[in-house]
Structure 1
Amino acid sequence: MRDVALAPAAVPPLTGGLADRVFENAERMPTLPVLARRPDPASGAWEEVTAVELRDEVVDLAKGLIAARISPGHRVALMARTRYEWTLFAVALWTVGAEVVPIHPTSSREQVEWILRDAGCVAVVVEDEQGAMTVGTVCALLPRLKHVWQLDAGAPAQLARQGALIPLTTVESLRRIVLPDSTAVIAYTSGTSGRPLGCALSHRSLAYPCDTLLAGWAHTAAPPGEQPSVLVFLPFSHVYGIMIMLTCLRGGLLMGHEPDMGQDALASALQTFRPTYLYGVPSVFEKLYKTFLRRAQEAGRGALFERAAQTARDFAGAEERRRLGLGPGPGFDLRLQHAVYERTVYRRLRGALGGRVVRGTSGGSALSRELSLFFEGIGLYVHDGYGLTETSGGITMQPLGREKSGTVGRPLPGTDVQVADDGEILVRGPSVFQGYISDEARTRAAVRGGWLATGDIGHLDSEGYLTITGRKKDVIVTSGGKSVAPAPLEQRLRLHPLVHQAVVVGDDRPCVGALITLDPDFLAHWRLALALQGESPGRETREENALREEITRAVASANSAVSRAESIRVYRVLQEPFAPDNGLLTPSMKLRRDAIVRHYAAEIDAMYEARSRAARRPGPEEPADWDEPDNVFR
């Protein structure tokens, strides 16, 4: 039977390109604010741009691109942070039929050269002098590259002046010949191993998930009667960011740009822009939770916060059982507790996010069920989304009134999902990509019989809800032959306030191990709280022992969700976090597992060797010798 909760209104078929909606919005609702930026981040004042103002800026820039001989089918790279001009250039390029090639602004010289060469870019837009210098070092190797435009040097205005004499009819003629199946974006995969692949995404495939979500769920993105607003801060160099941008542009949502993902800048932007809908990756929501907890502890209300957080999870869990027909909902006592904390705690937490957020989406990797229930319980339902670069973004959604935390929901209407015998998730539908550019063999390997092999593993329950358990290539096989999906263990480890990142290892090892980094902000707060207990000659030893106990608790909590054979027996706490700068994270904040294992090969060997020595007994080693986690600090 078809679930009406997941069936949106009919989505009109796309008849042109992505830029058309910007022009249509300018005709239908010219004064509607559609974009916002902060000319001076220190002031906190936002400058709004109406639909007709955006259209006019796009036309002026499109004329400049035409004057610079950018033609339909040309590929132009955008190498900048999430800022207003990124959106402006993207729409202008789509207007003239060109293809956008996103590049993360902190990419290395080698990465920039590879993408520009592989995509055959004729121009690149950089943000600042640093970006211009990076591109400058590889220009001689790229004969097709004709232009380097720098945003901070006034590139949009310069191009607008150069195109002043180009007639509007030329712009309109080019826009109208863009077809739905024309390529709009060449999005490069994260490149967690090997060189990234360029995924060709059409105007149709990019528009489909956005229009479907808008048709069925746009009314949930703001309180009744208010214009939905979204603060964009994740990189547009990733398809997740592009999907959010297009959803805002196509749905008339007010989109504010915040290029700085630093904690202070983001907090300020949330307070001043006051979005109604919040999106991010799991680390963003984990950081929010830990910030709430840390500030409560600093104010002497840590115990109160933890009781309120548990009540929020209990209340949301009871509400979930009620809407799924599995229970009566929260009882009287729980409702009373929740009402008390709403007045004293939850309202303040939502206030820290601007006070208007009603829902949110987490994507990029799995969001823990506990964290989803917490946010739902404080009045901000955050659902876990699922999609890939190869699917132009989201392919599942939570059915309204039947949301189930811990899953990524059910396939969008028009999209089919099935799980192969080996657990791999297969997808087909209108959002699937056109293929990898310059690599037909990889394309044929990925798409078989119309089904895209996602490389993710998971399962569908009896009601069609999809749960993601990890990447197929990330599954660890111990020397005893046990297969372990690392993602659930890593997710539970990160729930501890002190744990920032975690990577589970153990291929061809006697047991599962973990590399852990600590949250610097919470660690500083924790050390201060420990120091307030009094100075002593053995303070450093006391601190190290206390820290070891905390991390051991985090490991034990993670292990409680898996069998003994899958549990973490050894771990090491590292001093340096995994980051894009050191090559251990992708720009979309995904772990580069192969790079991490290579980088810390000596530490991993030492971790297992230390545990092996400690466990060594006369006679053959028994599995029980590995029962207790060994804690090794670096």
Structure 2
Amino acid sequence: MSKIDAPTIGQLSILAAHAFGPRTALRYKRHGAWHTVTYRQLADAVDRIATGLLRLGVQPGDRVGLFAETRHEWTLCDLAIARAGAVSVPVYPTSTPEECAWLLDHAAARTVLCDTAARAETAATCPGVKTVIAFEDEAPAGCRTLAELRNTVPADTDRQRLDSIADGIGTGDLSTVIYTSGTTGRPKGCMITHDNWRAAGTAISALLDGLGDGEEVYLHLPLSHIMSRTIQFVALSHGAALAYFGGDIRNVIAELAEVRPTILPSVPRLFEKAHAAVKDLPPQVVADAIGGRVRLAATGAAPMDPAVLDFFASCGIPILDTYGMTESTALMTANLPGDIRYGTVGRPLPGVEIRIADDGEILTRGAAVFAGYLDNPEATAEVMTDGWLRTGDLGELDADGYLTVTGRKKDLIITATGKNIAPSALENALRLSPHISQAVVIGDRRPHLAVLVTLDPDTVTAWATEHNIPGTWPELARHPEVKALVQAELDKANARFPPVARARALAVLDRDFTVEDGTLTPSLKVRRNQVATRYAALIDTLYGTS
């Protein structure tokens, strides 16, 4: 069998075990060695954990938190929560204790599964949380361990209960609540149903055409993110293997050579950094360095430099730019193998409709569109009109149906001269530079645009060493030659835009944005308002005021 069609996520592990039994389902690295889990072993582990959850008092429909980095236990617990008929509530591993507490309280999650003792301690202090289960054996006092659940042996009555629960879950029932980034306020809980997952799986299967036995997906992006999670379910539905990174992002390239995956979902920054490091090597050497089997890579969040795309294509690795959001249950559009148009995010995937509103906003409709925001009908009504989801993004459709995303509607800058400018275009152009980590364009009610830039520590440190420029990191950020380097990058980016959309002033910051200082969300999106507040005095100097 090449594919299964599980009506609900709770039935996925059992149906996959019947269809793909001895195949490798999961691979993970521990203490320097790779370990495998077959589809049969996966189903057994899921049933044991699900039985353990039920014996701890979890009921069908309960919301269960999942606060962990990407690792194979995340998948086991995700499937087990669904097998028990409960609703999973992922928490970004970068969330602060305050963010975690608010989210779990809003979701009314009483049980939380965590990877580390530190996260278990955080979850245990959250109001309303009654049971905390840690992946690691050294759990804080009062917490359970995942090993306890995995050692649970389901009796016949337990299996009958699991099957009865599965039969009672409808495809339109709630499967998960995934919270948005909250760049301008509190996160909102997106309600995703089993029908949403099935529709999203159909759409993304077009991107991952050919997925099946012998194929392997390397996962290093957060499974708390909708894209990684959808790919996880689709891979298991097709009998492919999932390989999980070892936990250190610095080892990703080395692990790719060990895993030899065929599918690589990632972010533009990884490919841009890889390109800077290997651009002078022969294509086959580059392909072999990441295992020699990668047949496609998928990315999103920001456009990529065509030169980078061309380079990896010459290595036999097409990088496919995609577009999606939590509310659409992952992908709406994608460039596909053999159907790539640079500068766009491709055409609508199967089952997805896209149109552009009169004000330029991208609208989408289809079975994958979410069921609304948890306990927030007002916010739901703001984004849903006659079945169409208002994405909040601005874009254009060309005559062939390819979509270009031009910015966020709420981020539009209106200058003192009344010009409307989407800042993301210039920001994305600047982030194409290997020396720049983040860029935030400002200029609302100002006479012209300015930009705040943070530096990429790896490439700028290497550049400074090459040019014999000593100093600490803050000293480098203030060094005239570093400022000149960044100014040259800004000049190059500015040249792509009309004068009104160019930044005339530049400030290089001596620290990057972080979740801890409030300038990044847990999903690592920039919080513009917080950046503007934190650097208000500096911004005033860019305009000659104080």
Q: Give the structure-2-normalised TM-score.
A: 0.92
| 1:231 CA displacement | 1.1
**Counterpart check, 1:148 vs 2:132:** yes
**Counterpart check, 1:502 vs 2:439:** yes
Say whether the 8 Å CA contact 2:47–2:154 is kept in structure 1. Answer: no
- CA offsets, 1:432-453, max 9 Å, x none? 0001011111111110111010
- CA offsets, 1:230-272, max 9 Å, x none? 1111111221221121122222221111252522x22232221
Partner of 2:479 in structure 1? 544
Say whether the 8 Å CA contact 1:372–1:406 is kept in structure 2. Answer: no
Partner of 2:532 in structure 1? 597
Max Rg structure: 1
Say whether the 8 Å CA contact 1:37–1:47 is kept in structure 2. Answer: yes
**Counterpart check, 1:609 vs 2:533:** no
| 1:400 CA displacement | 4.4
Whichever residue aligns with residue 239 of structure 1, its letter is I
Say whether the 8 Å CA contact 2:283–2:315 is kept in structure 1. Answer: yes
| 1:572 CA displacement | 0.4
Partner of 1:271 in structure 2? 257
Partner of 2:61 in structure 1? 73
Name the CA distance, whole Å, in 1 between partners of 2:269 and 2:27: 25
| 1:164 CA displacement | 4.2
**Counterpart check, 1:208 vs 2:192:** no
Say whether the 8 Å CA contact 2:302–2:428 is kept in structure 1. Answer: no
Partner of 1:129 in structure 2? 117
**Counterpart check, 1:348 vs 2:285:** yes
SS of match in other structure, 2:506: strand
Name the CA distance, whole Å, in 2 between partners of 1:571 and 1:187: 37
Name the CA distance, whole Å, in 1 between partners of 2:11 and 2:152: 24
Instruction: Kindly report which structure 2 residues correspond to 1:289-368, keeping only aligned pairs within 5 A, or say none.
Output: 289-292=275-278, 305=280, 345-368=282-305
| 1:220 CA displacement | 5.1
SS of match in other structure, 2:9: coil
SS of match in other structure, 1:49: strand
Partner of 1:333 in structure 2? none
Say whether the 8 Å CA contact 2:24–2:37 is kept in structure 1. Answer: yes
Name the CA distance, whole Å, in 1 between partners of 2:384 and 2:174: 18
Q: Structure 1 residues 351 and 219 mapped into 2: Cα distance closer, same or farther (>3 Å)?
A: same
Say whether the 8 Å CA contact 1:229–1:275 is kept in structure 2. Answer: yes
| 1:492 CA displacement | 1.4
Partner of 2:171 in structure 1? 180
| 1:546 CA displacement | 2.9
Say whether the 8 Å CA contact 1:36–1:47 is kept in structure 2. Answer: yes
**Counterpart check, 1:284 vs 2:270:** yes
The structure where helix makes up a greater share of residues is: 1
SS of match in other structure, 1:581: coil
Partner of 2:407 in structure 1? 470
Whichever residue aligns with residue 341 of structure 2, its letter is K
Say whether the 8 Å CA contact 2:487–2:506 is kept in structure 1. Answer: no
Whichever residue aligns with residue 395 of structure 2, its letter is G
Partner of 2:39 in structure 1? 51
**Counterpart check, 1:87 vs 2:22:** no
Q: Structure 1 residues 345 and 419 mapped into 2: Cα distance closer, same or farther (>3 Å)?
A: same
Name the CA distance, whole Å, in 2 between partners of 1:564 and 1:388: 32
Name the CA distance, whole Å, in 1 between partners of 2:400 and 2:48: 51
**Counterpart check, 1:17 vs 2:1:** no
> Bigger CA drift: 588-597 or 359-368?
359-368
CA RMSD in angstroms comes to 2.3
Q: Structure 1 residues 549 and 289 mapped into 2: Cα distance closer, same or farther (>3 Å)?
A: same
Say whether the 8 Å CA contact 2:320–2:337 is kept in structure 1. Answer: no
Partner of 1:33 in structure 2? 24
Whichever residue aligns with residue 268 of structure 2, its letter is P
| 1:23 CA displacement | 1.4
Say whether the 8 Å CA contact 1:36–1:257 is kept in structure 2. Answer: yes
| 1:399 CA displacement | 4.4
Partner of 2:51 in structure 1? 63
Name the CA distance, whole Å, in 1 between partners of 2:311 and 2:183: 31
**Counterpart check, 1:576 vs 2:511:** yes
Whichever residue aligns with residue 159 of structure 1, its letter is L
SS of match in other structure, 2:543: helix
Whichever residue aligns with residue 575 of structure 1, its letter is D
> Bigger CA drift: 366-375 or 228-237?
366-375
Partner of 2:520 in structure 1? 585
Name the CA distance, whole Å, in 1 between partners of 2:385 and 2:153: 46
Whichever residue aligns with residue 47 of structure 1, its letter is H
| 1:370 CA displacement | 4.0
**Counterpart check, 1:446 vs 2:432:** no
Partner of 2:141 in structure 1? none
Instruction: Kindly report which structure 2 residues correspond to 1:488-499, keeping only aligned pairs within 5 A, or say none.
Output: 488-499=425-436
Name the CA distance, whole Å, in 1 between partners of 2:488 and 2:320: 27
| 1:588 CA displacement | 2.3
SS of match in other structure, 1:435: coil
**Counterpart check, 1:108 vs 2:99:** no
Partner of 1:619 in structure 2? none
SS of match in other structure, 1:582: coil
Say whether the 8 Å CA contact 2:30–2:246 is kept in structure 1. Answer: no
Say whether the 8 Å CA contact 2:28–2:246 is kept in structure 1. Answer: no
SS of match in other structure, 1:436: coil
**Counterpart check, 1:418 vs 2:355:** yes
Q: Structure 1 residues 529 and 221 mapped into 2: Cα distance closer, same or farther (>3 Å)?
A: farther
| 1:176 CA displacement | 2.3
Partner of 2:366 in structure 1? 429
Name the CA distance, whole Å, in 2 between partners of 1:15 and 1:346: 40
SS of match in other structure, 2:58: coil
> Bigger CA drift: 345-354 or 497-506?
345-354
> Between the two proteins, what is the percent identity of the paired residues?
34
> Bigger CA drift: 164-173 or 385-394?
164-173
Which of 473, 493, 507 is the matching residue for 1:558?
A: 493
- CA offsets, 1:361-380, max 9 Å, x none? 11233334443333223321
Q: Give the structure-1-normalised TM-score.
A: 0.80
Partner of 1:520 in structure 2? 457
SS of match in other structure, 2:400: coil
Whichever residue aligns with residue 219 of structure 2, its letter is V
Say whether the 8 Å CA contact 2:483–2:508 is kept in structure 1. Answer: no
Say whether the 8 Å CA contact 1:67–1:163 is kept in structure 2. Answer: no
Partner of 1:626 in structure 2? none
Say whether the 8 Å CA contact 2:435–2:460 is kept in structure 1. Answer: yes
Q: Structure 1 residues 504 and 517 mapped into 2: Cα distance closer, same or farther (>3 Å)?
A: same
Say whether the 8 Å CA contact 2:182–2:188 is kept in structure 1. Answer: yes
| 1:172 CA displacement | 1.6
SS of match in other structure, 1:404: coil
Whichever residue aligns with residue 383 of structure 1, its letter is L
| 1:218 CA displacement | 3.5
